[in-house]
Amino acid sequence: MLRNFLSSVFRQQKRGPYDHLSQKEIKLQIAELEAVSRRLKKQNEVRKTMKTIRHESKLNFNQQQEQRIAMQVAYLGWNYYGFTSSNTENEDKLPTIEGHLMKALLQAKLIQDPTMCGFSLSGRTDRRVSGVGQVVGLNVRCGSQERKKGQLPYLRILNSILPPDIRVLAWTHVSPHFDARFDCLSRTYHYYFPTQDLCIESMKKAATYLLGDHDFRNFCKFNPSKNLSHYRRTILSVDVSVFSQGGFARLEIKGTAFLWHQVRYIASILLLVGQRLEKPEIVQWLLDVDKVPGKPEYPLASGLPLLLYDCEYNQNGFDWHREPTGRTKEHFQLLWNEQMTKALLYQSFVNASTNFGSYNIHDDGENRMSKVKRIQLGGSKEIWTTQYKPLMDRKRDEPYMLKQQKYNALHNKTQKELIKESSRC
């Protein structure tokens, strides 16, 4: 009997704290411990990054070596007023991607002065436009020779400071004379749009007329301050493809260089063709600058669906450094999950609105809304009109050369007046 009592006591003492849990409860405990472990690991990485930044901030910048690098930057543009920062004083009210990037570089002590780091970029993107293939070149501080390979963890440092919708995907050493704009061989843009009520075949046919070297003055916004000598650009490839699911399509256009708003004006024309408001041959007509020396008045497509997808370089000597752990991929996956959740909620609203049916608006027995035409311009941008006027019949701008001459004359007159005024003082 004593033996049985001692045996039962021994068995009770050997039981662990999880022996009373079921298999399902044990799995939940393991999942919670793994989540805590990931959170602690992330906090440790942030502490290491901030420790690195604090350590570097104590160094004398003038005693540090510099190197020229290129960085691939990805950003969601709908919260920003373009990539390029024209006025640092307005960054709080009119934030830009470049403004946030420079702020992070300064905070990390990787540069001393944004105007003295030799900054260049492959392509300017406007307000609300996103990029995943944007490349910038600049001079940054190296790590001390005591560090392994003398390199700083640029990706970890910058991505811990940048806002969630901007990330540096990779960096590489480049030659001291590297220029992200002039060394770029080609740029590829994507433009996404819903396929509802669109004739995709007509859009494809119209897009083929863009291939090759053309004068694109009727597919851009005129900027007299640039004083361009010509408006010829070369389109290397163009394609309109439909996704298998989701009811969306993509315009992919690749060229050596692009004019201001060129891709968005091209998208606008192709959408007009897809809505059967214009024929595909309208592209040929607009490219014939002898017949159409002045651009007809037509709206600019939304910037929201536009993406700078890729910038091509001569990759000899490029050795891109990326994060091996896939941390950036997981970061963007979380953002994607959030946006997809919102998309599903919007779909629920659409379905609920459809169930209510439609209301008829009568005016003397007629539905006025039936006479209104909705014109899609990408994203959530659209215009309503009771009568569509073909581009050939619309008012046209003055020829660009004449507008340039007027601008130069006015500019020269203003300069002379300023010189005359200053001489009086």
Among 211, 414, 184, 415, which residue's Cα sits nearest to residue 318?
A: 184
Sign of the CA dihedral with 316 first, then 317, 318, and 319 last: positive
Q: Catalytic: which of 126, 179, 197, 319?
A: 126
Question: How many Å apart are CA 184 and CA 235, to the nearest integer?
Answer: 15
Strand partners, 49: none
Residue that has been written with the tokens 């003295």 in this structure:
116
DSSP-based three-state secondary structure for 169: strand
Has 92 been annotated as catalytic?
no
Beta strand 130-141 with 306-312 is: parallel
Q: Going along 163-320, which residue ranges are E strands?
A: 166-173, 186-194, 212-215, 232-242, 248-255, 306-312
* C-alpha distance from residue 124 to each of 11, 136, 183, 230 (Å): 73, 11, 15, 19
The two tokens of residue 274 are: 């897809």
Identify each DSSP E strand in 162-220 by its residue range. 166-173, 186-194, 212-215
Separation CA 32–CA 165 (nearest Å): 28
Active site residues: 126
